[in-house]
């Protein structure tokens, strides 16, 4: 099977891991992308792996590692240890891919509860620290069979969350390492605007680094908390048909995660969310993936 729909648990924040697995399975899904706090809540990765397996699901990704831009020895060491644990957790739950949100500027670390120098606004140096951290993490990732998946975030998050803003930047950073150790994710919300997107998706496929596809829409107006501006597919301004064709033509055949941070969607009945996202995926995303991949859907055969 190709292009199986996966629930990223950021879409259903009211559910614990048991509930999210149950809801996803009830909706007919085969994959789930858990966030790390859900693993901690159930007592660790071994227990989480059992819950996912007994629920009949597979882990498409683990969210998330990263935040590698701290400049002080303490923050560097804390980040290294957290990411080492994340790699081990991903391997334990059977997630081939660990999503990496690489981190923002030290001057903005306090916004997300961290610590950093308010005067440190050097984005070039921050990106270099990401590269040096990957050098340290890649051997462990290879040992555990886990791919560190660099996520380019929309430029409005460059200060607080990710100093990587384009797929090209992420690929440039990945090239120093084996493709099985460092890959990239195409998240429609973050990269739909990029004039180089088609070329960079093609490049990712040729370099065998396109390992995850995440979908949600880009809504306007931007929410007061910009993080909550992700929307259900079809409610915003993203051309899913075109991007999905590019992704499939680049050779991607894996699960497709829906990851939505949106106050209204996150607070509604999760079963409604799953039903809506399944319907929107099947009408707005899947046909274009299958068409570009040369897959004839069962409905067209019968």
- As separate numbers, helices (DSSP H) first and strands (DSSP E) second, the chain gives 13, 11
Our CA angle for 173, 176, 179, nearest 5°, is 90
pLDDT at 297: 64
Closest CA to 33 of 268, 215, 252, 239: 215
pLDDT at 189: 98
The pTM is what?
0.96
Our CA angle for 130, 43, 16, nearest 5°, is 85
CB 231 within 8 A of CB 260: yes
Query: How many Å apart are CA 34 and CA 48, to the nearest integer?
Result: 9
Query: How many Å apart are CA 280 and CA 290, to the nearest integer?
Result: 15
pLDDT at 237: 98
- DSSP 8-state symbol, 35: B
The SS3 call for residue 6 is strand
* Long-range pairs, 107-110, Cβ under 8 A, ≥24: 107/159, 108/159, 108/160, 109/70, 109/75
Phi, psi for 187 (deg, rounded to 5) = -110, 115
- All domains of the chain in start order, with CATH: 5-301 (3.20.20.150)
Over its length of 302 residues, how does the chain's per-residue pLDDT go in tens digits?
799 999 999 999 999 999 999 999 999 999 999 999 999 999 999 999 999 999 999 999 999 999 999 999 999 999 999 999 999 999 999 999 999 999 999 999 998 889 899 999 999 999 999 999 999 999 999 999 999 999 999 999 999 999 999 999 999 999 999 999 999 999 999 999 999 999 999 999 999 999 999 999 999 999 999 999 999 999 999 999 999 999 999 999 999 999 999 999 999 999 999 999 999 999 999 999 999 999 876 544 33
Within 10 A of 203 (CB to CB), how many other CB atoms are there? 18
CB 111 within 8 A of CB 145: no
Within 10 A of 296 (CB to CB), how many other CB atoms are there? 10
CB 235 within 8 A of CB 280: no
CB 175 within 8 A of CB 212: no
């Amino acid at each position: 099977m190709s292009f199986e729909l996966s629930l990223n648990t950021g879409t259903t924040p009211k559910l614990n891991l048991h509930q999210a697995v149950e809801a996803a399975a009830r909706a007919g899904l085969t994959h789930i992308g858990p966030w790390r706090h859900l693993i901690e809540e159930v007592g660790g990765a071994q227990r989480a792996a059992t819950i996912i397996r007994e629920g009949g699901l597979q882990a498409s990704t683990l969210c998330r590692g990263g935040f590698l831009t701290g400049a002080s020895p303490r923050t560097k060491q804390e980040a290294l240890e957290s990411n080492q644990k994340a790699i081990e957790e991903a391997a334990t739950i059977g997630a081939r891919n660990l999503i990496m949100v690489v981190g923002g500027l030290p001057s903005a670390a306090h916004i997300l509860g961290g610590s950093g120098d308010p005067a440190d606004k050097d984005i070039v140096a921050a990106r270099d620290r990401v590269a040096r951290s990957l050098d340290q993490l890649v051997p462990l990732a290879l040992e555990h069979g886990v791919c560190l998946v660099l996520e380019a975030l929309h430029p409005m998050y460059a200060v607080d969350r990710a100093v990587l803003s384009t797929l090209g930047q992420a690929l440039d950073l990945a090239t120093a390492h084996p493709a099985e150790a460092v890959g990239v994710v195409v998240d429609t919300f973050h990269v739909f605007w990029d004039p180089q997107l088609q070329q960079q998706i093609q490049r990712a496929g040729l370099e065998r680094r396109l390992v995850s596809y995440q979908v949600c829409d880009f809504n306007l107006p931007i929410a007061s908390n910009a993080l909550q501006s992700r929307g259900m597919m079809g409610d915003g301004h993203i051309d899913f048909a075109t991007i999905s064709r590019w992704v499939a033509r680049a050779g991607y055949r894996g699960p497709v995660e829906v990851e939505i941070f949106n106050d209204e969607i996150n607070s509604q009945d999760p079963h409604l969310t799953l039903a809506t996202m399944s319907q929107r995926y099947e009408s707005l995303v899947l046909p274009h993936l299958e068409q570009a991949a040369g897959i004839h859907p069962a409905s067209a055969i019968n």
